[in-house]
Chain A
Amino acid sequence: MTEQLLDAACELEAPDVPAHAMDKVLDQYEAKVYKNRKKHMVTVDHTLETPQEIAANVRTVPGMLTHRGCCFAGCKGVVVGPLKDALAIVHGPIGCSFYTWGTRRHKARAGEDGLNLVPYTFSTDMRETDIVFGGEKKLMAAIEEGIELFHPNAVMICSTCPVGLIGDDIHAVAARAEEKFGVKCIAFSCEGYKGVSQSAGHHIASNQFIRRVIGEDDTPPTGKYSVNVLGEYNIGGDGWETERLLRRCGIEVVSVMTGDGSVADMRRAHTAGLNLVQCHRSINYIAEMMNTQYGIDWIKVNFVGVNATCKSLRAIAQYFGDAALVDRVEAVIIDEMEIIDEDLQYYRGKLKGKTAALYVGGSRSHHYQQLLRDFGVSTVLAGYEFAHRDDYEGREVKDSIKIDADNKNIENITVAPVDGKYHVRFSPEKLEELKRDIDVFEYYGGMIKEMGNGTLMVDDLNHFETEEFVKMLKPDVFFSGIKDKFVLQKGGILSRQLHSYDYQGPYAGFRGAVNFGHDLVMGLYTPVWSKVVPPWRTEPALAGTIGGEE
C-alpha cells in the first residue's frame, strides 16, 4: 500500500509556465542589471546536452531589495544561536543582538544540565567611545559577567561590522578569558560585511566548531547505530520529529547541529557512526571535514516530505547494512504511513493540481518541493536566497565554481586525520559499492534535477521580481519569508513562511507532512480569499506599468 501511495503522488502533470516569463521580467531592467540578473535565472530544460548553469553566491545588486541577510546573521542567527548551553555574546552595538533575539523559531528545551539560553540574547552594547577606544576590555568584562550569571558550557563571541574595522582582537580576548575563567570561549569573526550573504557565516561557524568543539569528548554512543544530524535547526520542532523517527528505528542520535543542540553533545559528535546532512548549504563543510578527520561518512538526507523521509531512512539502513535495521526501518515506515494515510489522502484531494513557487534559504526550496509533490502540488518557480551553485546543480560542479574576491576572504581550513580518532568504516571497495548503491552517499544532486522542464529557477530573487513573476505564473501559493509575505497575501495569494512556518509546524517526517497539508489546505480555503481576487487572475500579464516608467 505504501509503495502505491507514494508512486501515485509522484505522477504530476507538468505545470503550465508561460514561455518567456523570464525574459519579460528581465526586459524591465537597464542593461547592466539585466546582464547581472540574467545569469541568476534559468528556465529549466533537461533536453539540453550540456547541464544548465546558474550564477549564485555572488554579490547582490545594491538597491534591489534583496531578502538576503548578512554574515553575522548566518553565524550568530542561524548556526550558533540554537545551541542551548552556550552563551552567545554579540560583540557590537545593540541592534544586531536585538534583531537575533527570538527571530528564528529554533526551539530548544533544557537538557540534563538544565541550561537553555535560547530565550536570551547578550550584547556588549558598544557605544561611540568603545568604537573610538576599542571594546576589548568591555568584552572581557561581559564574558566574566555572563559566566558568573549563567554558568554556560561555552561562550561564543560573535562580532559585528564595526568590530572588524576598529581591530578588536576577539580571538585573543577569547583565549585570555578561557584561561582565566576555565570556560571554553570561542570567537567568530563574522562581521556583517563579509561574504555576500549569510552563507559566509555558516562557513565561519563550521570552521570554529571543527577547530574547537568536535572531537573533544570520546564517550562512545551506547547504541549499535549512531548518527549526527547536521543542518537541522529545529524550526517549529522539525528536529524533534526527526529525532523521534530515528530513535524509533533504533538509531541513536549523538548530536544535532544545531537545533536544540548543545556544545556538550557536539564535543562527542566524532563518536557517531554516520553523519546525516539535512541542510547541505549551511553545514556540508562539517560533514566533509569530519570525514577527513575521523573517517565518518555522510549521506544527504531530507526529512521534509513523505517520500523523502522514507528514502532517507532507507539510505541510512542501507549504509549500516544490517538486515535487522532494514526490517526495523520498513516496519516503522509502514506503521507511520498507516497513521497518516487517511489524512494524506484527504489533503492530497484538496491540493492536487495546485501550483507553488518557493524562495527560501539554501535547501528548503528543494526540500519542500518534495513534500509538495507528495500532495500533488507542482512547482513553477524555485530559488534560493544564499545557496551556492552546487545546491542548484549538484556537487559535481563544486570544483568548477570560480572563487571571487568576496569568497576568498572566507577562511577555508584544511584538516588532516586525527591520531587515534580516525577510523576506517569500510574498505575502499565497499565504499565504491555504497557510492553506487546509495545515490545520496556523500553526494547531493542539487535542485535542478528534480524540477520540471519549463519551470523557473531564480537565484537571490528580489522584491520586484517576486511581484512580476507572480503576475505571470499565478501560483496558488508562494513559500518564502516575512519580508515578502505581506506583499503576496495582501495581493490575494496565499503566502506561507518557510523560515518560521507562520508559528506552526513541525513539518518534518510523516506526521509533520500532515501538519503541512493541514496548514496549506487551511490557508488555501480560508473564506477571505473569496473576497479578494488578485487582479492578475483576471487580467492579462504585464498590462500594468512599472515604477519609473510612467
Chain B
Amino acid sequence: MARRNEPPQVKERGALVDLNVNPCKMCMPMGSSTAAFGVQGCVTILHGSQGCATYIRRHMATHYNEPVDIASSALTEQGTVYGGEGNLHKGIDNLIRLYDPAAICVSTTCLAETIGEDVAGMLGRWREKHPDSKVTFVPVASPGYGGSQFDGHFRFLRALMESVEMRPQDAPPRQLNLVCGPMSPADMRFLKRLVASFGIEAVVVPDLSENLDRARLPVYDRTPAGGTPLARIATMAGSALTIELATFVPDGCSPGAYLHDRFGVPCTRLNLPVGLRDIDALVDELTAFAGVRMPAALAEERGRYLDAMIDSHKYNAEGRAVVFGEPDFCYAAVRLCVENGVVPVVTAAGSRCPGFEEELRREVREAADRFLVDRWEVLEDADFGDIERLAVELRANVMIGSSDGRRIEDARGIPLVRCAFPIHDHVGGQRVRTLGYEGSLTLLDRITNALLQRKEEGFRAAIRDEFYDNTLLSQAHRHRESASHELLAEANAALAEDRATAPGAAQAARPAAPGAAQSSLPVILSGARSAESKDPALALARKTAQHPCFNGGCASENARIHLAVAPACNISCNYCVRKFDCANESRPGVASAVLSPNEAFERYRLAKERVPNLTTVGVAGPGDALADWERTRATLELVAQDDPDMTFCLSTNGLLLPRFADDIARLGVTHVTVTMNAVDPAVAGRIYRFARLDGVTYTGEAAGAVLLANQIAGIKRLVELGVAVKVNTVLVAGVNDGCVEDVGALCAKLGAAYHNVMQHIPVAGSVFGDLPQVSRTRLDEVRKRCEAHLPQMYHCRQCRADAVGKLSEDLVRAVEEAEGRRAAEPVLADPVVATLVVPRADGARTRHAPLRIAVASRSGSVVDAHFGQAASFMVYETDGTVVRYVETRETERYCTGQEACDPRAKADRLERSLAAVRDCAAVLALRIGQAPADRLRACGIAPVCTCDAVRPAVLAAAAELSAGMTTIEFKEAASL
C-alpha cells in the first residue's frame, strides 16, 4: 500500500507500506510493447522468460479485442547462468523469417536486467552476423522493477528516436511532430483527424489507431499495416515543432527533449486535450502553427461541449470522484472533473511520479474550496487497498479509471466509469473516447449518468434517513456492516429488559401488549361488538380462535384464502426459487402480474360464496406482502369494506415491517407472520443471498444484520399495536438447525404469540437445492425444544400463495372454475373477447372465450425454458388484448437430491407435462422436441417455439390461433 510520510510505527489498517494489495499499475514491458504497436512494421521481442510475453499478450488482447503478437526469447534456467545471447539471436532470426519486420523492439524484463544482459552488445554482434539486414532495432531497458507501464511507454518512444537514423533533410516544410502518451486507438484517430483539419502535415508517434483497433480484414496481417512508418519518423528531426501531449513524461524519456537537444526542433509540452482548458490550449497551438482560423466544425463541437457542461452542471455538483490510474490520465480526468464541478476526493496514481502530487493538489484544492469539501486525498504509489479505504472514508460516489476498480464497484456500490487501460470486463476498450471536445463530452456524459443512476437507485434511502425516525432502523442502515453486531446485541439486551419488566407477555397466549390499548392510533377493528370495541384484545382473541393457522383446533372447520397480490420480493432466500412464483424485484414492470387488487377482490367474493366458513383472508406472497405495500393495502381495504369481520393476516420477511407496522394495524390486520430464520447475522447471512432496502443491496452478513434489525423493530412495534405475531422459521439442515431455539427465545421476548418451525423443502435450482431435508423426527425434536419459549404450530401445511379453503383441502380449482364461468357470461364478457373467434376441432361451433395458453419460463418474464425441461408451466388467459396470469402448474415433484431416486417410480415426464397443459390452446416454449410437439398437436394443443417476452408472446400466439391456424411453428431466421 502507499508509502506515507507519517512514522511507520503505527500500523493500522491502510497504513501498510510493504504489501501491495491489488495493484494499480503494471510493469514497464507492458508499456513498451504497447507503444511499439504504433510503429509500422514493428514487432516486439521481450528478452526474458516466456511468461512475460504471454501475460502481456493476454492482457492486451482482452482490452483491445485484437490479436497481439509479442515474441519472447524464452530464457530458461540455463540462460540465466550462461546469458541469453543465443536465445535472443535465435528469436530475432525467427521473427524476421516469420514477420519480415521493419523494426524490432527488443524490450528487456526483470530477468534480463537482473542478470545484467548487454542487449546493445548482443544486437551489435547480431548485425555483424547479418550485415545485409535492413531491420532497425529499438532496444529498450524496461525491467519490471524499474517503473510502471507509463514509464515503459516513454522509454520506448525515447529509444525509438535514438535508434532511427534521422534524416532531417527529408522533412516537408512546416511539419509537426505529435508525440502521444498512453491513450486509446480511437483517441489517436481523433488526433490525426484534428491536425489534418488544420491542414497540418504531422508525424504522430506512436500511432495505435489502426494496429490495435483494426477494421476487419479477411486475411490476418501478422505485421499490421498501420502505424507510423520509419521513413516518416526519420523526418521528425527536421520538423518545425514538436507537441508532446503528456504532462508527466519521466525524466530523460522525453522524445521532444531529445529532438530539441539533438536537432534543435522546438518542443511544446501540453496536457492531454481533455476538458475545455486543455483542448483549447491544443487548438490555440495548432491555430498558431497553421496560421489558419479554427475550423467551423471544431468550433461547433466546442459549443456543443459547453452546452453539455451547462446541461449537466447540477448533477455534477454532487459528484465526489475517485480518479485512479496512470499519472497523465489522472491529471486529465481530474481537470475535467474540476471544470465541471465534480470534486475528485481521491486521486491515486499507481506508480511514483515526480511532481504529480503537487500539480494534482493545486488542481483539486481549487474545486474542493469552491464546494466546501474539506477532506480529499492525492496519492501516488497507491494500490486498490488504499483507494477502497479512502473511497469509503471520503464518501465517493463515482470512480473514473480502468476496469480494475470493478471489485470496489461490486463491494461498495460506487459506480465505475471505465475509460482507461485495461478494460477487461467490457468490450470496446480500444474505442473509448476521452480526447477533444467530443471525447470529453462523451466522458462527461458517462460520469454524469453514473451519478444520476446512483441517485435514482439510492435517493429513497437518503430521504428516509433524513425524515423517518426509527432509531434502530436508521442506525442499522447507517452502520450497516461494522456496527450491526453491537446494535443487535444492544437491541436484544434492551428487549430482554423490556420483557422482564412486563411479566406474562413472553408466554402470550393473549398476545396484546399492555401498552396497545392506550395507543392513540385509530385501530379499526370489527365495530359491531361493543365489548370488543372497548378492548381490542378481545377481538383479537376471537379472531385468533377462528384463524386456522394460529389455532390448530379450528383448522378443520375454518377456511382461509390467500390472495396472491404480492409478486415482488426484496430479499433473496437461498431456499427459495423465484423462477415461477416470485417475479424478480430487480426488473420492475416485467413482474408477472399475479392478481391485481380488483381481481383479488373478485376471487375473494367468489370464494366467499363457495367456501364455507371462510374466516380469514391473507396475503402470503408469492413475494413479500410489504415489498409492494400499496397492492396489499388496496386489496385488504377492498375486502374490509365488504366484510369488516374477516380476519386479516399477512406474511412477510419483516424487512419493511417497521415502516408499515402502523399502517398494518390501522388497516385491521390482526395477524402477521414474520419469517425469521436466525438471530445471528452471520447465520442469516448464509441464508439470504441479498436484502434490498431503499435501493441499497446488502449481501452476506450485512444483509442478515439489516434484515434482523428490522424484524426485531417490526415485531416489537406490531406487538405494541396489539397485532398477533407468528414467527415462521425454515429449518435448514446444517445452516440454522442449531440455533432455531434462539429464534424462539428472542421472539418470545419480543412478544410474538406463536412459532412455526418448518421443514426446508430443497428445491432444485435454489442455492440450498442440494441440501438434505431435515427429517420429520428432527423437526419435531426442534419444535419440542422451541416449545419452551413459544407455542408451536404442529399443523402447518406450507401452503401456496394462492391457497383457498381449509388447510387440509385446497379449493383453488373450485374457485378458478367459478371464475371461468363468470368470465363466460355474456354480460361480463369484455367486448374484445366477443370478437375473438376460436375455431374448435369440430369446426362447427365457435365460442367466445378467453384462450388459455401455457408458458414455459424460467425467468417468469421471458419464454426461456424448454418444454421438456420445464418443471412447471405458467398458465395465462387472454382475450386478445389483455393477458391475465392464471396460475403456475407443476409438472413434477422436485428431486431432493438425497432421497433414493428410483427411476421406476418416475412417471413419464411427457405425460405429466401434457396433463399440466391439457386445457390450454397452445404451449409456448423456447424449444419443443419433435415427439412432444406431435403429441401436443394430437391433443389439439398448438406447440409454439418463441423466445419473446411472455405477454407479447401470448398475444401473438392468441392472434395466430384466432386467425385460424391450428399450429404455429417457429421459423428459424433464414440467414442461419
Mark A residues whose CB is within 8 Å of B: 29-30, 33, 59-73, 89, 92-103, 114, 119-128, 130-131, 138-139, 141-142, 145-146, 148-149, 160-162, 164-166, 191-198, 244, 247-248, 328, 331-332, 334-335, 338-339, 341-343, 345-346, 405-406, 409, 463-464, 467, 481-487, 490-492, 525, 527, 530, 532, 534-535, 544, 546-548, 550
CB-defined contacts of A490 to chain B, threshold 8 Å: 66-67, 214, 216-217, 220
CB-defined contacts of A532 to chain B, threshold 8 Å: 216, 218
Mark B residues whose CB is within 8 Å of A: 11, 13, 16-23, 25-30, 45, 48-59, 61-62, 65-80, 87-88, 90-100, 109-111, 114-115, 143-146, 148, 214, 216-220, 222-223, 404, 407, 424, 682, 770, 866-869, 895, 897-898, 900-903, 906, 909, 927, 929, 932, 973, 975-976
Once the chains bind, are A525 and B866 in contact (CB under 8 Å)? no
Once the chains bind, are A484 and B67 in contact (CB under 8 Å)? yes
CB-defined contacts of A97 to chain B, threshold 8 Å: 20, 23
Once the chains bind, are B29 and A95 in contact (CB under 8 Å)? yes
* A264, chain B: closest CB distance, angstroms: 17
Q: Which of A164, A332, A467 contacts B220 (CB 8 A)?
A: A467
Once the chains bind, are A342 and B929 in contact (CB under 8 Å)? yes
Once the chains bind, are A342 and B52 in contact (CB under 8 Å)? no
Once the chains bind, are A99 and B58 in contact (CB under 8 Å)? yes
Once the chains bind, are B22 and A149 in contact (CB under 8 Å)? no
CB-defined contacts of B79 to chain A, threshold 8 Å: 193
CB<8 Å pairs between A and B, sample of 20: A62-B87, A62-B90, A63-B91, A63-B92, A70-B49, A70-B50, A94-B20, A95-B30, A95-B52, A95-B110, A103-B59, A145-B17, A149-B19, A192-B51, A193-B76, A331-B901, A343-B869, A486-B61, A490-B220, A532-B216
Once the chains bind, are A335 and B895 in contact (CB under 8 Å)? yes
Alpha-carbon distance between A64 and B867 when the two chains are bound, in angstroms: 51
CB-defined contacts of B68 to chain A, threshold 8 Å: 483, 486
In the complex, the 4 A-B pairs of residues with the closest C-beta atoms, listed nearest first? A70-B51, A95-B27, A63-B91, A62-B91
A128 touching B146 in the complex, CB below 8 Å, given contacts A161-B48, A482-B61:
yes
* B676, chain A: closest CB distance, angstroms: 22
**Which of the listed residues A59, A89, A164, A490 has the most CB atoms from chain B within 10 Å of its own CB?**
A490
Once the chains bind, are B67 and A63 in contact (CB under 8 Å)? no
**Which of the listed residues A139, A331, A342, A532 has the most CB atoms from chain B within 10 Å of its own CB?**
A342
Once the chains bind, are A63 and B93 in contact (CB under 8 Å)? yes
Q: Which residue on B lies nearest to A32, using beta carbons? A: B90
Once the chains bind, are A341 and B868 in contact (CB under 8 Å)? yes
Once the chains bind, are A346 and B929 in contact (CB under 8 Å)? yes
Q: Which residue on A lies nearest to B80, using beta carbons? A: A193
Once the chains bind, are A125 and B20 in contact (CB under 8 Å)? yes
Q: Which residue on B lies nearest to A463, using beta carbons? A: B69
Alpha-carbon distance between A145 and B11 when the two chains are bound, in angstroms: 8
Alpha-carbon distance between A464 and B407 when the two chains are bound, in angstroms: 37
Once the chains bind, are B219 and A63 in contact (CB under 8 Å)? no
Q: Which of B67, B76, B897, B909 contacts A196 (CB 8 A)?
A: B76
Alpha-carbon distance between A3 and B893 when the two chains are bound, in angstroms: 26
A548 touching B27 in the complex, CB below 8 Å, given contacts A196-B76, A247-B897, A331-B901:
no
Q: Which of A119, A120, A161 contacts B49 (CB 8 A)?
A: A161
Once the chains bind, are A405 and B25 in contact (CB under 8 Å)? no
CB-defined contacts of B218 to chain A, threshold 8 Å: 491-492, 532, 534-535
A486 touching B66 in the complex, CB below 8 Å, given contacts A62-B73, A492-B218:
yes
A122 touching B19 in the complex, CB below 8 Å, given contacts A93-B143, A93-B145, A548-B99:
yes
Once the chains bind, are A73 and B23 in contact (CB under 8 Å)? no
A124 touching B145 in the complex, CB below 8 Å, given contacts A161-B110, A161-B114, A165-B115:
no
* B678, chain A: closest CB distance, angstroms: 15
Alpha-carbon distance between A103 and B900 when the two chains are bound, in angstroms: 41
* A373, chain B: closest CB distance, angstroms: 22
Once the chains bind, are A69 and B145 in contact (CB under 8 Å)? no
Alpha-carbon distance between A67 and B682 when the two chains are bound, in angstroms: 44
Alpha-carbon distance between A530 and B19 when the two chains are bound, in angstroms: 52
Alpha-carbon distance between A191 and B404 when the two chains are bound, in angstroms: 26
* A192, chain B: closest CB distance, angstroms: 4
Q: Which residue on B lies nearest to A112, using beta carbons? A: B686
A342 touching B866 in the complex, CB below 8 Å, given contacts A69-B50, A162-B114:
yes
Alpha-carbon distance between A452 and B589 when the two chains are bound, in angstroms: 54
A33 touching B94 in the complex, CB below 8 Å, given contacts A339-B869, A490-B217, A527-B976:
yes
Once the chains bind, are A60 and B50 in contact (CB under 8 Å)? yes
Alpha-carbon distance between A385 and B66 when the two chains are bound, in angstroms: 21
* B162, chain A: closest CB distance, angstroms: 22
Alpha-carbon distance between A33 and B90 when the two chains are bound, in angstroms: 10
CB-defined contacts of A482 to chain B, threshold 8 Å: 58, 61-62
Q: Which residue on B lies nearest to A485, using beta carbons? A: B61
* A545, chain B: closest CB distance, angstroms: 10
Q: Which of A29, A149, A335, A484 contacts B901 (CB 8 A)?
A: A335
Alpha-carbon distance between A454 and B57 when the two chains are bound, in angstroms: 33
**Which of the listed residues B96, B98, B100, B903 has the most CB atoms from chain A within 10 Å of its own CB?**
B98
Once the chains bind, are A93 and B73 in contact (CB under 8 Å)? no
Q: Which of A101, A128, A141, A485 contacts B23 (CB 8 A)?
A: A101
CB-defined contacts of B49 to chain A, threshold 8 Å: 70-71, 161, 191-193
**Which of the listed residues B67, B770, B867 has the most CB atoms from chain A within 10 Å of its own CB?**
B67
CB-defined contacts of B65 to chain A, threshold 8 Å: 486
Alpha-carbon distance between A374 and B146 when the two chains are bound, in angstroms: 52
CB-defined contacts of A100 to chain B, threshold 8 Å: 55
CB-defined contacts of B220 to chain A, threshold 8 Å: 467, 487, 490-491
Alpha-carbon distance between A320 and B712 when the two chains are bound, in angstroms: 51
Q: Which residue on A lies nearest to B92, using beta carbons? A: A63
Question: Can you add 8 more A-B contacts, CB < 8 Å, to A65-B70, A131-B114?
Answer: A61-B74, A193-B111, A342-B866, A342-B868, A343-B866, A463-B69, A463-B222, A544-B219
Once the chains bind, are B98 and A464 in contact (CB under 8 Å)? yes
Once the chains bind, are B62 and A247 in contact (CB under 8 Å)? no
CB-defined contacts of A483 to chain B, threshold 8 Å: 54, 57-58, 61, 67-68
Alpha-carbon distance between A124 and B21 when the two chains are bound, in angstroms: 9
CB-defined contacts of A166 to chain B, threshold 8 Å: 114
Once the chains bind, are A66 and B74 in contact (CB under 8 Å)? yes
Q: Which of B100, B144, B909 contacts A95 (CB 8 A)?
A: B144
Q: Which residue on A lies nearest to B87, using beta carbons? A: A62
Once the chains bind, are B869 and A548 in contact (CB under 8 Å)? no
Once the chains bind, are A127 and B145 in contact (CB under 8 Å)? yes
CB-defined contacts of A89 to chain B, threshold 8 Å: 19
* A193, chain B: closest CB distance, angstroms: 4
Q: Which of A95, A149, A162 contacts B16 (CB 8 A)?
A: A149
CB-defined contacts of B148 to chain A, threshold 8 Å: 94
* A244, chain B: closest CB distance, angstroms: 6
Q: Which residue on A lies nearest to B769, using beta carbons? A: A244
Once the chains bind, are A193 and B77 in contact (CB under 8 Å)? yes
CB-defined contacts of B867 to chain A, threshold 8 Å: 342
* B180, chain A: closest CB distance, angstroms: 23
Once the chains bind, are B54 and A145 in contact (CB under 8 Å)? no
CB-defined contacts of A63 to chain B, threshold 8 Å: 45, 71-73, 90-95, 98
Alpha-carbon distance between A332 and B895 when the two chains are bound, in angstroms: 11
CB-defined contacts of B770 to chain A, threshold 8 Å: 244, 247-248
Alpha-carbon distance between A519 and B273 when the two chains are bound, in angstroms: 43
* B12, chain A: closest CB distance, angstroms: 10
CB-defined contacts of B404 to chain A, threshold 8 Å: 101
* A324, chain B: closest CB distance, angstroms: 10
Once the chains bind, are B13 and A149 in contact (CB under 8 Å)? yes
Once the chains bind, are A66 and B50 in contact (CB under 8 Å)? yes
Alpha-carbon distance between A406 and B77 when the two chains are bound, in angstroms: 7
Once the chains bind, are A98 and B98 in contact (CB under 8 Å)? no
Alpha-carbon distance between A94 and B976 when the two chains are bound, in angstroms: 47
Q: Which residue on B lies nearest to A72, using beta carbons? A: B51
Q: Which residue on B lies nearest to A535, using beta carbons? A: B218
Alpha-carbon distance between A381 and B145 when the two chains are bound, in angstroms: 41
CB-defined contacts of A198 to chain B, threshold 8 Å: 51
Alpha-carbon distance between A341 and B423 when the two chains are bound, in angstroms: 39
* A527, chain B: closest CB distance, angstroms: 5
Alpha-carbon distance between A103 and B867 when the two chains are bound, in angstroms: 38
